[in-house]
Amino acid sequence: MSGVVSYELFTSRLGGATAGFTTEGGFYQTLINKTGATSVKGTLVMASTALDNAVMTALANTQMPIGAIYESGIADGSLVKVVVNGKAQVLLKDGESSTRGYWCGVSDTAGRMYQDSSAPSTQEHNREVGHSIESKTSGTDVLSNIIMHFN
């Protein structure tokens, strides 16, 4: 393999089902979907308050996001990939657009992201999920690429 480790080989060396890299370049952890519904790609999540090693939909305006669901269609109670760092697709709050270079945070809609042209107040800053690397027009259930990181 001449010194290059493939996505599949890297993921299998980590045990396959526990952590790895997405094909887009994000780093994921596998956790239990406790959102109360089938998973939806791009939903922002936080640590579950009801079950160990699980995630729930990030509450509106929460200062405790930990990632974004990577795959749709995973039943509640089943293992789901959650992007926790790197490049991620995140659901915008319906009716809001995204702009390259903007700051991104948990919106006033549970599980959704909003963006701002400048860093917000300290309290809002703790809702940060990353920075936008893509411009998208507003709509319903729009995914937008960000570089995910947290404070």
pLDDT band at 14 (very low <50, low <70, confident <90, very high): very low
> With 90 as the cut, is the pLDDT of residue 39 above it?
yes
What proportion of the chain, given as a percentage, has pLDDT over 70?
A: 89
> Architecture of 7-148 per CATH?
Beta Barrel (2.40)
Question: Cα–chain-centroid distance for residue 110?
Answer: 13
pTM: 0.88
pLDDT tens string 67-122: 999 999 999 999 999 999 999 999 999 999 999 999 999 999 999 999 999 888 87
